[in-house]
């Protein structure tokens, strides 16, 4: 007999648990026995395999050829140096890959879902990996099912199990035992890991975890996020391949020139060609992007933003519209009841008097029509509801009357489309929600202990008060009830209600919201508030934080519905507040902006927000109040639910992009100068300026450090003031290419000057001087490449200084320690005055580039 054939009581017995849940000692025991609830993702590659994979790189293949050619031509020292360098490079590559993997893993850990379980009779929130067999899990709309389980309680419980069954519609779930054998899709009293709760509430007992769950059996469905490359990484990979092919063609041409026209020895000519290949192939490009992206995601975690997909960092920099929820994101979500309205009069909460029947019903409803948990030590749930429990705790009557009524039977859960929720007890139906929605369903009003018909005047008075509250930015909830015999509820029960009163709650804006909105404006980003709250409340809060300015429009969901796409497009730029919207409206707003080629970040917390989060360019979920479904759909999670965190992340995203661009410009301009030098000298039939070892030393050792330092650049206010980047703007656009070309040319000129001076003594000194000047110029260029601004405009970047000191130290070591000269093909006749010339030439290129920066800055001023 399968578990779905058994009654809930028998299931509990079989699993040796109870409705109270397991005790903590038992949980520990079972976790030792069954392990944690973790999926074995496809086995990670071992470090050795990663190490071997480094040899697949095109550059490494070229280098192995170089080592071979050197060995054939008897240059064994060069061969040895090249091989050592390749090995060091492979080790570094392995370490980098492992580090990036670790940081991705820690990010994934941070976004582990949470579940509510009953343990020792108390509800606790635990991370899903702690779930064990026999645990009783409580779920509500918006939760993701963890572990497989048998349902014990279900109130309008609907679950979307499309990931498992392929059925896209949510399935109605129930408690009753099923007869006979059933396929997965028909096991209606079971829940399966990865299911999305789309409606209702329920409880289930866990009978399978981790790889024993149905989804665990289909292990291939679990994609390994760390393997995916970002668009930028992909386009750089493509660029590298194209560049490498062009370089190979140039190398072949140079080889022909040298052999056919200059009648050089084939081996020597091959060595030159290989040197050119080594100089030009931008091997560090891909790894720089990976390093910078993983450093920046770690940094963002410190700023409370968890990036779930690396490519989100890139899109973040392009964000031009931020659509944000109000409650909890722009406001503090610390609800406090400020005013109560009952018996058609408003008063402070302190004046609540449970001996008045109307007050009494209102207080009772605060307690019953509520899903939050309010205990001395823990307050779990929607802050709006916690505030109502607090109100009851302060002023409610706590005698046995309530115990009878506390037996809640059925519930129509709150959903942000209906903006209401209802429950029934043994005798009554209680409904609470947005006042305008509620009044539509009321026919009576309770005044003290008398119910009487709700007149037009009554309605007007209530709506007037509602508006007055809203103008003060207060969040208003209305309460109504009616007598009803106990039975399962459906939407049609919410009619002919008796209006009881209203409660107005204060949710002050977050202090940092105003600043963040101001920053958005400076950065050319339009902040938009989208809320389910009343239009006047929304507008009042939006005005306080600067989102709503004079001339702006506050559009209501109902108005939006009446507009066609064209009409919406016309008003779009003016609307800064959308009020009383349902989640479906959000997707229209996102699409409308996207049609205008804007990049939209959209926040969401509810289960119905998932489509809009997916549609937006950056879906932002709330870490604290967000449902697991929304977190699943988002590409970024805010650990503090704070609007200003989005703005910070956008600025960081811009900065990361600028840093990557600068690092790439740095690497390519350096490579370009080396190519120019090799091509130039070979066209003039001059001795080659660099050996393969020289270029290896520069490319793999002294170049990477400044590039990483550029990637760590903090970013200036300048970044904030720029307009958002267009998403189709290529990182290697004409402007960048021009910069790479001009700066490469300047470095080339100074390298050739040093080469020329060296050539007066010997070819070997010329080569040493060219190499050392190129190396030092590129190290200095590491400072210039930090930004488009001249250096004196920037603050100190300690990493750049360190990179320079290490690089220059290594260079001086091989220049000045005679024992190393053989290894690095340094001329024996190098004198101190030659070193002076090298320093002057390198400084010359640096000063020239800085002068250009100053001129550019003056022009743009």
End-to-end CA distance of the chain: 81
Which neighbouring-strand residues pair with 528? 323
Q: Which is nearer to ligand ATP, 299 or 418 (CB)?
A: 418
Q: Which is nearer to ligand ATP, 283 or 325 (CB)?
A: 325
Which of 414, 548, 697, 846 touches ligand ATP (CB under 6 A)?
414
3-state secondary structure of 536: helix
**By CB under 6 A, is residue 236 in contact with ligand ATP?**
no
Scanning residues 185 to 214, which ones bind ligand ATP (CB under 6 A)?
none
User: 499 and 444 in contact (C-beta within 8 Å)?
Assistant: yes
**By CB under 6 A, is residue 333 in contact with ligand ATP?**
no
User: 392 and 366 in contact (C-beta within 8 Å)?
Assistant: yes
Contacting range for ligand ATP; rule: CB under 6 A; set: 63-71, 532-540, 744-752, 787-795 = 532-540
Backbone angles phi, psi at 548, to 5 degrees: -95, 115
Which of 419, 526, 648, 725 touches ligand ATP (CB under 6 A)?
419
Q: Of 733, 745, 746, nearest to 664 (Cα)?
A: 733
Overall residue count recorded for the chain in this entry: 861
- For the bound state, the minimum distance from the C-beta of residue 365 to ligand ATP, rounded and expressed in Å, comes to 11
Q: Which is nearer to ligand ATP, 529 or 651 (CB)?
A: 529
Q: Which is nearer to ligand ATP, 390 or 533 (CB)?
A: 533
User: 652 and 303 in contact (C-beta within 8 Å)?
Assistant: yes
Which of 276, 319, 477, 612 touches ligand ATP (CB under 6 A)?
477
- For the bound state, the minimum distance from the C-beta of residue 443 to ligand ATP, rounded and expressed in Å, comes to 20
User: 804 and 781 in contact (C-beta within 8 Å)?
Assistant: no
Rounded CA gap, 95 and 91, in Å? 6
Which of 300, 421, 439, 554 touches ligand ATP (CB under 6 A)?
421
727-756 mask for ligand ATP (x: CB under 6 A)? ------------------------------
Q: Which is nearer to ligand ATP, 57 or 415 (CB)?
A: 415
Scanning residues 425 to 444, which ones bind ligand ATP (CB under 6 A)?
432-434
- For the bound state, the minimum distance from the C-beta of residue 651 to ligand ATP, rounded and expressed in Å, comes to 23
**By CB under 6 A, is residue 533 in contact with ligand ATP?**
yes
Backbone angles phi, psi at 209, to 5 degrees: -130, 170
Contacting range for ligand ATP; rule: CB under 6 A; set: 21-29, 525-533, 736-744, 759-767 = 525-533
User: 556 and 535 in contact (C-beta within 8 Å)?
Assistant: yes
- For the bound state, the minimum distance from the C-beta of residue 168 to ligand ATP, rounded and expressed in Å, comes to 25
**By CB under 6 A, is residue 519 in contact with ligand ATP?**
no
User: 644 and 666 in contact (C-beta within 8 Å)?
Assistant: no
Q: Where are the alpha helices (DSSP H) in 317-370?
A: 357-368
**By CB under 6 A, is residue 171 in contact with ligand ATP?**
no
CA distances from 172 to 155, 169, 200, 424, 668 (A): 10, 10, 10, 20, 59
Q: Which is nearer to ligand ATP, 208 or 420 (CB)?
A: 420
CA distances from 595 to 8, 599, 734, 859 (A): 52, 10, 27, 35
- For the bound state, the minimum distance from the C-beta of residue 108 to ligand ATP, rounded and expressed in Å, comes to 27
User: Cβ-closest residue to ligand ATP?
Assistant: 532
Q: Of 339, 348, 531, 369, nearest to 438 (Cα)?
A: 369
Question: What letter would DSSP give residue 698?
Answer: I
Contacting range for ligand ATP; rule: CB under 6 A; set: 104-112, 377-385, 447-455, 824-832 = 377-385
Backbone angles phi, psi at 249, to 5 degrees: -65, -45
User: 205 and 13 in contact (C-beta within 8 Å)?
Assistant: no
607-646 mask for ligand ATP (x: CB under 6 A)? ----------------------------------------
- For the bound state, the minimum distance from the C-beta of residue 582 to ligand ATP, rounded and expressed in Å, comes to 8
The answer for residues whose C-beta is within 8 angstroms of residue 108's C-beta and 6 or more apart is 225
Q: Which is nearer to ligand ATP, 216 or 383 (CB)?
A: 383
Q: Which is nearer to ligand ATP, 324 or 777 (CB)?
A: 324
Question: What letter would DSSP give residue 203?
Answer: E
- For the bound state, the minimum distance from the C-beta of residue 532 to ligand ATP, rounded and expressed in Å, comes to 2
Q: Of 317, 372, 320, 396, nearest to 140 (Cα)?
A: 372
Q: Which is nearer to ligand ATP, 534 or 648 (CB)?
A: 534
Residue of 148, 325, 533, 703 marked active site: 325
**By CB under 6 A, is residue 526 in contact with ligand ATP?**
no
3-state secondary structure of 408: coil
Rounded CA gap, 150 and 147, in Å? 10
- For the bound state, the minimum distance from the C-beta of residue 490 to ligand ATP, rounded and expressed in Å, comes to 17
Q: Of 502, 434, 428, nearest to 465 (Cα)?
A: 502
Which of 332, 384, 444, 825 touches ligand ATP (CB under 6 A)?
384
Which of 362, 391, 420, 572 touches ligand ATP (CB under 6 A)?
420
Q: Which is nearer to ligand ATP, 142 or 286 (CB)?
A: 142
Scanning residues 356 to 375, which ones bind ligand ATP (CB under 6 A)?
none
Rounded CA gap, 808 and 305, in Å? 37
- For the bound state, the minimum distance from the C-beta of residue 855 to ligand ATP, rounded and expressed in Å, comes to 49
CB atoms within 10 A of CB 756: 13
Q: Which two tokens stand for residue 681?
A: 């000298």
Which of 213, 294, 296, 531 touches ligand ATP (CB under 6 A)?
531
Contacting range for ligand ATP; rule: CB under 6 A; set: 60-68, 97-105, 510-518, 529-537 = 529-537
CA distances from 218 to 163, 165, 668 (A): 10, 11, 45
The answer for residues whose C-beta is within 8 angstroms of residue 511's C-beta and 6 or more apart is none
**By CB under 6 A, is residue 392 in contact with ligand ATP?**
no
Contacting range for ligand ATP; rule: CB under 6 A; set: 179-187, 306-314, 528-536, 675-683 = 528-536
- For the bound state, the minimum distance from the C-beta of residue 585 to ligand ATP, rounded and expressed in Å, comes to 11
- For the bound state, the minimum distance from the C-beta of residue 146 to ligand ATP, rounded and expressed in Å, comes to 24
Q: How many residues bind ligand ATP (CB under 6 A)?
A: 20
**By CB under 6 A, is residue 660 in contact with ligand ATP?**
no
**By CB under 6 A, is residue 142 in contact with ligand ATP?**
no
- For the bound state, the minimum distance from the C-beta of residue 437 to ligand ATP, rounded and expressed in Å, comes to 8
Q: Is 400 a catalytic residue?
A: no
Q: Which two tokens stand for residue 77?
A: 């020292």
Rounded CA gap, 673 and 774, in Å? 8
User: 443 and 497 in contact (C-beta within 8 Å)?
Assistant: yes
Q: Which two tokens stand for residue 254?
A: 């140079």
Question: What letter would DSSP give residue 116?
Answer: E
Q: Which is nearer to ligand ATP, 509 or 532 (CB)?
A: 532
User: 317 and 656 in contact (C-beta within 8 Å)?
Assistant: yes
Tokens 């302190």 correspond to 350
Scanning residues 271 to 330, which ones bind ligand ATP (CB under 6 A)?
325-327
Q: Which is nearer to ligand ATP, 548 or 666 (CB)?
A: 548
- For the bound state, the minimum distance from the C-beta of residue 188 to ligand ATP, rounded and expressed in Å, comes to 28
Interacting residues with ligand ATP (CB under 6 A): 325-327, 382, 384-385, 414, 416, 419-421, 432-434, 475, 477, 531-534
Q: Which residues are catalytic?
A: 325
């Amino acid at each position: 007999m399968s578990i779905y054939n058994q009654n809930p009581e028998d299931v509990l017995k079989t699993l040796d648990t109870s409705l109270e849940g397991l005790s903590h000692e038992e949980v520990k025991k079972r976790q030792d026995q069954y392990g944690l609830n973790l999926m074995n993702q496809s086995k990670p590659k071992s470090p050795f395999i990663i190490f071997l994979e480094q040899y697949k790189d095109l550059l490494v293949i070229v280098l192995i050829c170089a080592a071979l050619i050197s060995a054939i031509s008897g240059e064994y020292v060069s061969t040895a140096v090249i091989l050592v360098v390749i090995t060091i490079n492979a080790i570094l590559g392995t370490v980098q890959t492992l580090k990036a993997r670790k940081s991705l893993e820690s990010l994934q850990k941070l976004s582990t879902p949470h579940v509510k379980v009953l343990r020792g009779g108390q509800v606790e929130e635990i991370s899903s990996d702690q779930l064990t067999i026999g645990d009783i899990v409580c779920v509500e709309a918006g939760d993701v099912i963890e572990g497989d389980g048998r349902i014990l309680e279900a109130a309008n419980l609907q679950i979307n199990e499309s990931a498992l069954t392929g059925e896209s519609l949510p399935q109605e779930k129930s408690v009753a035992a099923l007869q006979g054998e059933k396929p997965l899709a028909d096991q209606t009293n079971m829940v399966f890991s990865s299911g999305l709760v789309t409606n209702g509430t329920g409880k289930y007992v866990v009978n399978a975890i981790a790889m024993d769950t149905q989804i665990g059996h289909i292990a291939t469905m679990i994609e390994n996020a760390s393997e995916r490359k970002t668009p930028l990484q992909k386009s750089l990979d493509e660029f590298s391949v194209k560049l490498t092919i062009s370089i190979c063609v140039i190398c072949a041409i140079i080889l022909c020139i040298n052999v056919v026209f200059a009648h050089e020895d084939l081996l020597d000519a091959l060595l030159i060609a290989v040197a050119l290949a080594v100089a030009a192939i931008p091997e560090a490009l891909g790894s720089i992007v990976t390093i910078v992206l993983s450093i920046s995601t770690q940094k963002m975690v410190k700023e409370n933003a968890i990036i779930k997909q690396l490519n989100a960092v890139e899109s973040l920099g392009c964000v031009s519209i931020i659509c944000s929820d109000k409650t909890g994101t722009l406001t503090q979500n610390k609800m406090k009841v400020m005013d109560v309205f009952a018996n058609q009069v408003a008063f402070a909460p302190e004046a609540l008097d449970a001996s008045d029947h109307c007050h009494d019903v209102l207080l009772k409803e605060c307690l019953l029509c509520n899903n939050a948990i309010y205990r001395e030590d823990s307050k779990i749930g929607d802050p709006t509801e916690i505030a109502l429990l607090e109100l009851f705790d302060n002023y409610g009557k706590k005698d046995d009357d309530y115990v009878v009524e506390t037996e809640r039977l059925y519930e129509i859960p709150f959903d942000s489309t209906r903006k209401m929720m209802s429950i029934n007890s043994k005798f009554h139906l209680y409904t609470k929600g947005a006042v305008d929605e509620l009044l539509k369903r009321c026919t009576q009003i309770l005044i003290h202990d008398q119910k009487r018909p709700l007149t037009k005047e009554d309605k007007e008075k209530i709506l007037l008060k509602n508006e007055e509250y809203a103008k003060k930015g207060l969040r208003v909830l209305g309460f109504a009830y009616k007598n009803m015999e106990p039975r399962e509820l459906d939407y049609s029960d919410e009619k002919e209600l008796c209006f009881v009163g209203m409660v107005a709650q204060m949710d002050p804006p977050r202090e940092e919201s105003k600043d963040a909105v101001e920053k958005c404006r400076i950065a050319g980003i339009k902040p938009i508030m989208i809320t389910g709250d009343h239009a006047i409340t929304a507008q009042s809060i939006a005005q306080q934080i600067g989102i709503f300015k004079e001339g702006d429009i506050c559009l209501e969901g109902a108005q939006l519905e009446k507009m066609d796409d064209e009409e919406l497009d016309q008003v779009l730029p003016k609307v800064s507040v959308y009020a009383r919207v349902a989640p479906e409206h959000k997707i229209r707003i996102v699409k409308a902006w996207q049609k205008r080629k804007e990049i939209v970040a959209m926040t969401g917390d509810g289960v119905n927000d998932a489509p809009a989060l997916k549609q937006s360019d950056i879906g932002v979920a709330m870490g604290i109040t967000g449902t697991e479904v929304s977190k699943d759909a988002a590409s970024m999670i805010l650990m503090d639910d704070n609007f200003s965190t989005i703005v910070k992340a956008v600025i960081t995203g811009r900065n990361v992009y600028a840093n990557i661009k600068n690092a790439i410009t740095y690497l390519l301009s350096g490579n370009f100068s080396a190519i120019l030098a090799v091509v130039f000298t070979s066209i003039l039939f001059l001795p080659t300026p660099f050996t393969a070892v020289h270029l290896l030393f520069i490319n793999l050792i002294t170049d990477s450090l400044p590039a990483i330092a550029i990637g760590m650049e903090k970013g200036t206010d300048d970044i904030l003031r720029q307009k958002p980047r267009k998403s189709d703007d290529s990182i290697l656009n004409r402007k960048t290419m021009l910069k790479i070309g001009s700066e490469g040319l300047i470095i080339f000129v100074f390298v050739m000057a040093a080469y020329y001076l060296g050539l007066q003594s010997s070819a070997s000194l010329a080569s040493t001087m060219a190499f050392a000047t190129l190396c030092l110029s590129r190290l200095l260029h590491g400072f210039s490449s930090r930004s488009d601004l001249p250096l004196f405009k920037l603050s100190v970047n300690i990493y750049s200084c360190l990179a320079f000191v290490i690089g220059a130290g290594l260079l001086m070591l091989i220049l000045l320690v005679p024992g190393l000269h053989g290894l690095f093909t340094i001329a024996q006749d190098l004198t101190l005055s030659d070193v002076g010339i090298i320093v002057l030439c390198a400084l010359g290129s640096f000063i020239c580039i800085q002068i250009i920066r100053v001129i550019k800055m003056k022009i743009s001023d």
